[in-house]
Chains A and B, each alone.
Chain A
Amino acid sequence: MLELERVVKHYHEAEEEVRAVDGVSLKIESGELVALYGPSGSGKTTLLLLIAALLKPDEGVIRYAGRDLSSLSQREASEYLLHDVGFIFQNFHLMPKVSALENAARKLLLGGSGMRQAQARAIPWLERVGLGDRMRHAPEKLSGGERQRVAIARALAGEPDLILADEPTGNLDSARSREIIELLHTIAHERGACVLLVTHDEDAAAIADRRCVLRDGRLLESSTGGDAREPSASAVVAGEDRVEAS
């Protein structure tokens, strides 16, 4: 279970102060898929980085499974990132010139699996994101969407309990993107993982259990119902139906 309490993160850049995250409180239960959206520059990526302990909040507390993330040592933060978090980055961070399979297995290797075991565990995930026939390709020889899917497979292969997805479907067509969101949804429900999904895609957001809007670093809490700008409850129900149907 993930819990944020009045989290603040400001950037200072040449006299200018950017209030990237400005007092966000949020709770995500295990098994919940939360969609986060908001205009560009509203602080979504920053929030995800804070949750991944890649950034330290200026104020406020972030707790995961009862642990306060700011109290983690550097080493514990690494462990947390490696074993608990699956981060799907906005710009992939793939290793050039090595195959999609090696890229997808990288995190497992880091976690201490042997090469064979790591690859054996990564292959099903590549297949699930539809890259079964591209496993030997290096990132330079993949399309943007394919690269994005390698990054997704890599984040998911370790079966993390907290998935932070930063616009994972930004480069995908709508059918493919629905598949991915549904995959995340299944993972949340079946394994009881917390999933925080940043997306601009209304359709995709419709599948989420809950939607939040971030604007100028502030969270306009929404929950399943929500106010004017939020998607309708029916869309959520429809989304859930679809997941259950598939």
Chain B
Amino acid sequence: MVRNSKGRQKIEMVKMKNENNLQVTFSKRRSGLFKKASELCTLCGAEIVVIVFSPGKKVFSFGHPNVDCVIDRFLNINPPHPRQHTDMQLSEAHRNAIVRDLNNHLTQVTEEFEIEKKRNEDLKQKRNNNKMPENWWEEPIETLNLSQLTEFKCGLKNLRKTVTAEASKNLQAIVPRHNFYAGSSNNAAFGIFDDKGTIDPDLDLYNRQRMVVKNTCACNHHNMIVPHHITTPFGNIGNSITEGFAPEYNQNQNQLCFKQEHISECDHHSDQPHHFGHGYY
């Protein structure tokens, strides 16, 4: 494992020279000091006040039960009236209960955080282990040349198609299946073709699906399937290069096909929605 920094090092106990480092150190150490103070109060029930002035002359303070109370006592201002004692005890009990809950909550969040951190490490490790040198597309984008990028783009676009199709199966309850165009124009409706989309490609799949419905309903009368020879309102877009990368994911009879063949070749199922040839990519 390549180490990027030297790790913890002993530092001299003198005022730091570098202004920026000093500011950063101040932030971190002040935060750490407050954490220690809070822990002391929780663990041992002590009373504490910590006052710190920043390099920028701003003041930070932490106090338990609160800053002013402890300071007043130190300066011998306003000693508590005996009659106030029981009230103070009650509110202290109340306060302690709240703090106890907060501490439990914080512990829980910290544990979840630790779990996520571990998962993060594991995922990165997994990527390292699964690395296959012949799969050049798994390398960082910056290392790929233009032809590789273009090929990769085609492959990904096709993958996107099938993933979108799978996702649309899940939304069948919301949108009637028959209104869907197969193949390329489906994507066109999603606005997924490169630079000129009618629909914001930043929309997640669910919202894009809704946009498709909107668009299809606009041109679909009586819930009829538009015959294949009519140009869709979405026009003729896309790279002809993508032709070559048409993985065929045939699904069962009454579902959508994503074959990129010429129209004349798809007439075998009369009850099926018509396919769109490469011209409608």
Partners in one complex: no
